Amino acid sequence: MQELRVTVAFAAASVSLLLAIYAFVIRRHRGPSKTVAAFGVLMVGTAGWALAAGLGDVAPTGDGMELWLHLEQIAIVLVPGAWFVLAVSYTGRENWLTRETMTLLAVEPVVTLLATASNPWSGLMWAETAVATSRDGVVSLEYTFGAYHYVHLLYSYALVLGSVGLLLWMVLDSDRLYRRQSVALTIGALAPLATNVLGGSGQPWDVLFTMPTGFAIGGLALGYAIFRVQLLDVVPVGRATVIENMRDGFVVVDEHDRIVDLNATARTLTGDDAIGTQATTALPEMSQLFASTDQKSCTHDDIVVETDDGQRFYTARLTPLRNDSYLGRVLTIRDVTDNRRIEKRYQALIENASDIITVVDNEGTLEYVSPSIDRVLGYDPETLLGQSLRTYVHSDDRDRVGNALDTIGVDTDTVRFEYRVEDADGAVRVVESVGQDLTENPFVQGVVVHTRDVTDRHQREQELERANDHLEAFASAVSHDLRNPLNVAAGNLELARTEGDEEYFARVENAHDRMETLIRDLLTLAKHGQTVAETDSLDLGTVATDAWETVETARSTLDVRETATIDADQNRLTQLFENLYRNAIDHAGADVTVRVGTVSDGFFVEDNGPGIPEEKRDEIFQSGYTSSDNGTGFGLAIVRNVVDAHGWSIRAVESESDGARFEVRSVEPDRITGPAPESRDDD
């Protein structure tokens, strides 16, 4: 019998040790768990208990048996507390396992170990121990319990029975899987307890009711629970624990709207003493939810609560609580502060962006227009909703914009296009748009168009293009027009050297004079830019007369018919008159009459010469163009440069005497004042 008892003890110790290794080693990588930790400690305790009991049975001396008895008690103190912690955590009551609770659970085991260590002189655990030999020669240790041993037994049985009660509750109140786990755990707890109670009767069957036998049965039950019904893998979580740790707040109120329960999240809003108070008092920001007497669900968004950390935003839902009758209501509170802040941030980014952001459907109808359109184009975004994007596109660009939008989602997901639009004041602006197909995005369901005003950039590009043309004309003149008189001078100089005729030197001098004139005009074109930085209020007649004095006019006559005050750059305006005078003298002869006067929105310069053929009137302002043998072709180009720099326009028409007339127009109304001007709009 003794051999069987020892074998059972070693088997029980082996099973418990293997389960402890499984808990601490194999399951360690799955993260910390109080349930797993308690199970591991329990298995270490039962392994030590069974092993010490078995080794005590085979000890050859009484002192050896007593030593193993003491070591057995060290293992025993782990078991009751581990069972209780395992049952509490497994059944979802981990909130019981506070630091204070764990400290109290540790007090009794420490006292028990001290009583065990001091037993030789105190007798608190075992009053007497003696070695006895049975009739068949089996040696065993007999002992009587000390006073503290009964305290220890009462404490241990209380914890184990409490654990069994929790597990039995799970058996009655759980789904099938958790019920099977709970049954296995209950058997694991009751088997050692039953063998301890039933053993020691002095009957032959006592060998079946030893603690090692109970541990073997319990170990098999726990092994079944682990490997067949997923104990430690699928562990139930108590509803109270779930609700208490939820991020959403839950408040339960009775039929009189008094708070009867709430979780930790809700307590951050109501305070710790909210139970029993009116919900409207504890949560004044949500009082309108409770104002309704209808026993129906209702929701309220964007509830703002002032806290120590600033404003917080919540959504709340009030739901009736019923079984067979109306019991009260449940208030669910969700903190949406982070979401609202993100929404408001992106809303602020869109509303304050310099670009216009629109969303159009497949037909090009505006479904969303950002407020920035008011700053950029002066339109109220609300008035544009439901209208076609093409309505505000310049008529010449509508087809091109329509074609670009039609390609989105068909040929490409993104398209970039530039076009003209009219702002609220009727001015034409140049914009650039980038359209992206987001029709499949459930939060957009349309084409997003980012539009940027590029009018200034477009004007700079045009100015740069004109400057490039200007530079190209300058380079052409340097490479071609200057080379011609230089070749003439070089050729005639060579003839003068070989033939000695003075006539050739005169030709060289004429070539040099022409080169000087060309260089002067080229420097004028190169020196002055395409814009005017500052202007002054000038008398038109005075500037025209002063410019006449700087030109070699020979027998020519100047007639200033009207004068006016004009806002212009004096030097550039003088250049304009000088070059128009030279052009008249070069083409109409030395006795030409030049007249200067005003028109409704500008002024004119005309002569009584042969005039300009109609088909040539657009070409004469190009650099290098001339119909005179003595002309450089840059005089009227300089005139055009001055006109463009002021933002004016110029055209060549026929004068009253069939000569050439140059009209400078588009001068702003407040930039020219004087008598009723002469107009030639019929030309």
Mean pLDDT by 10 residues, the chain (683 residues): 74 83 71 76 86 81 82 87 84 82 91 89 84 66 84 89 82 67 77 68 54 69 70 59 75 85 85 85 85 74 79 87 72 85 78 82 84 85 83 84 79 83 85 85 83 85 76 61 64 76 73 66 58 82 87 84 87 84 85 91 91 81 59 72 86 89 74 48 44
- pTM exceeding the 0.75 threshold for the entire prediction: no
- Residues 518 and 477: their CA atoms lie apart, in Å, by 8
Which listed CATH number (1.20.1070.10, 3.10.310.10, 3.10.20.30, 3.30.2290.10) goes with 2-227?
1.20.1070.10
- CA 165 – CA 83 distance, rounded (Å): 12
Q: Which helix (H) or strand (E) holds 165?
A: helix 147-173
| C-beta atoms surrounding 618 within 10 Å | 10
Identify the CATH class of 353-453: alpha beta
Question: 276 to each of 89, 258, 292, 633, how far by Cα in Å?
Answer: 30, 6, 20, 101
The predicted pLDDT at position 111 comes to 93
Q: Do domains 246-340 and 353-453 have the same CATH topology?
A: yes
Tokens at 199, concatenated: 């053993």
CATH fold group of domain 528-673: Heat Shock Protein 90 (3.30.565)
Closest CA relative to residue 645, chosen from 454, 457, 463: 463
Residue 615 burial (10 A CB sphere; 0-12, 13-18, 19+) = exposed
3-state secondary structure 168-199: HHHHHHCCHHHHHHHHHHHHHHHHHHHHHHHC
Q: What is the chain's alpha carbon radius of gyration, rounded to the nearest angstrom? A: 53
Cα 369 to Cα 129: distance, rounded to the nearest angstrom: 95
Handedness of CA 595, 583, 642, 618 (dihedral sign): positive
pLDDT of residue 138: 63
Domain regions of the chain by residue span: 2-227, 246-340, 353-453, 528-673
Instruction: Give SS3 for 276.
Output: coil
Identity of the residue numbered 85: V
* pLDDT of amino acid 677: 45
Measured CA angle at 662 (ends 658, 666), to 5 deg = 140
**246-340 homologous superfamily:** PAS domain (3.30.450.20)
How many residues would you count in the chain? 683
Give me the pLDDT at residue 679, please: 46
